Structure 1
Amino acid sequence: MKRQSVIDVGSNTIHLLVGEVTDGGVLPVTGEKVSARLGSGVEKTGSIEPERLELAARAISLFARIAAMNGAPEPAILATSAVRDAKNGEELVARVEKETGLSMRLISGEEEAVLGFRGAVSAVGDPWEGPALVVDLGGGSAQFILGEAQAGPLMQTSLPLGTNRTTERFVANDPPKKKELKALDEHVKKTIPEWNIVDSVPVVAVGGSARAILKITSDPLTVERLRRLADELREVRSAEVARDYGLAPERARVLPAAATTLAAVLEHFGKEELSVVRGGIREGTLISLSEKSS
């Protein structure tokens, strides 16, 4: 069974996943991650900070070597919102090619949505009947995909609602103030699409912030629970949240925005609850690579 690998250059974290695809799912072989926070400041300045470009290039070079050591010598290197939106994003592309001989692709929000959807489907042991709404909440952008497990996406859009971006724009305080999260909530509801989604359609969330919420609570993620979680996070500094739940500090910092955004999505579409799955763009990419090589 051929191993595949992907380096996902996200707005908050750079991930490596090496895995094998079997029966439509991904068996992970190894994985690494580093918090480069490429999206930090992009909302305000339009550019990635030079030291973050340096860190990202070194991390990608290291991850490419790790992939090769684990039997997957040609990783797909995909850059998402932060690099895609930054004025100097092409600098990182050129640097990676010079240092590794590999090409990094700036994928569109639409491609990111499709890959995220495929990864979410692969992570569900018993795929849902009929359509589902997948919300891939990243650092710089959020992908909304309405689709069916077998037929694939029916409607999709990529919006600038990633947790790094919205935190920088709306949340100046740590912990955040109630009025900051209220302004964010209103912005999300005005931004997301007016899709007519029937009652039976489930909502599935993917992404690092959604998974981090599961470390804080095992309760069903209803609108009420997500609202209450945002209120709880307004009572404590993000450094304490990171310490108490074993989260990266930068991840803890954006969790109030994540909980607020997901609650707003549920309310907007008239849904009561969402589930979180661990698949996403990386798993979707490995499945795509496997299909192309077969």
Structure 2
Amino acid sequence: MSPHAVIDVGSNTIHLLVGEVENGGVFPVTGEKVSARLGSGVDETGRIEEARIPVAAEAISLFARLAALNGAPEPAVLATSAVRDAENGPDLCREVLGKAGLEVRLVSGEEEALLGFRGAVSALGPDFSWEAPALVVDLGGGSAQIILGDGTDGPEKQVSLPLGSNRTTERFTRHDPPKAGELEALSDAVIEMMPGWGLPEGTEIVAIGGSARAILRLTKDQLTVERLRTLAAEISQKPAAMLAREEGLAPERARVMPAAITTLAAILERFDRPQLTVARGGIREGAILTMAEEARNGKRP
């Protein structure tokens, strides 16, 4: 069983995952991450800050060497919202090609949704009920992918929306900590942007992504609309630096958590679901599953 590797170039963080596939699941061999914050300011200026490009390229080059040391010499490099939305995104792609000899693939919102859904399904495991479809919310830094589908037939509907936690923080929460009115305005905007889908009875909402996983560090309670809104209010009583220190979060993650939690609460409210489930799989696991499938079928990943 040969491992596969993916380098996920996100708006907040660049992640490496080396994993092996067994029985439909991804078992990690190693993983690393670095906070390059490529999405910082992209919503306002349309460009990645120039100083961040060589840092990101160096990180990707290092991750490629680490992947090779762990038996995966040809990692897939996938770039999502920050790079595909920035007018100088191609500059990063050229820098990575020069430093690491790797092609960066700009993943469309639709493909990001498909990979995220596949990774989420693999992480939910055999105990998750598929009597009804699931609505998967892949909350990234620059965008959010909303995907409706089931574990057998895959996605039925998907939409990519500019609701990533970096973007909503920059647009709506000008203060640190954010004011209640800022989070209320964000909630209204999220509800307004949701697709007009009717969900079948029993459909669960599943959140994936770093901000969704970070919620599990902040509370062990059931993630109802009321609990999520209370949690957003609670963590908005202190600056992001204090939240990061007290809860063991990265400072850049702490800064976006009020907006991320508010976004998920609004989605839950819009679709009138009782609670949110958080899954630990996502685009990286979905990419590794796809690479393993292509390798079995004799295709080049």
TM range (shorter): over 0.9
* Greater Cα shift, 193-202 or 106-115: 193-202
Instruction: Write the deviation string for residues 220-268 of structure 1: whole angstroms up to 9, x where unpaired.
Output: 1000000001110221111111011111000000000011000000110
Deviation at 1:76, TM superposition (A): 0.4
Instruction: Report the residue type matching 1:46 in the other structure.
Output: G
Matching residue of 1:53? 53
Assess if the C-alpha contact under 8 Å between 2:204 and 2:276 holds in 1: yes
Q: Does the 8 Å CA contact 1:211/1:278 hold for their aligned counterparts?
A: yes
2:252 equivalent in structure 1 = 250
Equivalent in the alignment of 2:230: 228
Q: Does 1:96 align with 2:82?
A: no
- How high is the TM-score relative to the length of structure 2? 0.97
Distance in 2 (CA, whole Å) between partners of 1:183 and 1:8 is 31
Q: Which residue of 2 aligns with 1:110?
A: 110
Number of the residue aligned with 2:129 = 128
CA-atom RMSD, angstroms? 0.7
How far does residue 51 in structure 1 lie from its aligned partner after superposition?
A: 1.1
Aligned-residue sequence identity (percent) comes to 64
Aligned to 2:203, the other structure's residue is in SS state coil
Q: How many Å apart are 1:128 and its aligned residue?
A: 2.8
Decide whether the 8 Å contact of 1:222 with 1:273 is kept in 2: yes
Give SS of 1:221's match: coil
Mapped partners of 1:28, 1:128: distance in 2: 25
Report the Cα distance in structure 1 between the residues aligned to 2:20 and 2:123, rounded to whole angstroms: 14
AA matched with 1:224? E
**1:192 maps to which residue?**
194
How far does residue 278 in structure 1 lie from its aligned partner after superposition?
A: 0.3
Q: Are 2:216 and 1:214 aligned?
A: yes
User: Is the contact made by 2:133 and 2:200 (CA closer than 8 Å) also made in structure 1?
Assistant: no
CA–CA distance in structure 1, aligned partners of residues 143 and 109 of structure 2: 8
- CA distance in 1 between counterparts of 2:201 and 2:47 reads 42
TM-score after normalising by structure 1: 0.99
SS, match of residue 135 in structure 1: strand
Measure, in 1, the Cα distance between the counterparts of 2:271 and 2:201: 9
The range that moved more, 128-137 or 151-160, is 128-137
- Give distance in 1, aligned partners of 2:283 and 2:262: 23
CA distance, structure 2, for counterparts of residue 270 and residue 278 of structure 1: 23
Per-residue CA deviation, residues 118-173 of structure 1 (Å, 9 max, x unaligned), is 00001012243131000000000000000010110000011100000000001000
Q: Specify the alignment match of 2:36 in structure 1.
A: 36
1:9-43 deviation digits (Å, cap 9, x = unpaired): 00000000000001000010000000000000001
- Measured after TM superposition, the shift of residue 98 of structure 1 is 1.1
Deviation at 1:198, TM superposition (A): 2.4
Alignment-mate amino acid for residue 158 of structure 1: S
The ranges of structure 1 where at least 4 consecutive aligned residues each deviate by more than 6 angstroms after the TM superposition are none
Report if aligned partners of 2:134, 2:149 keep a CA contact under 8 Å in 1. yes
**Which residue of 104, 117, 138 maps to 2:140?**
138
Q: 2:85 is matched by which residue type in structure 1?
A: D
C-alpha distance in 2, partners of 1:272/1:167?
A: 26
One-letter amino acid of the structure 1 residue matched with residue 144 of structure 2: A
User: Could you say which residue in structure 2 is the equivalent of 1:202?
Assistant: 204
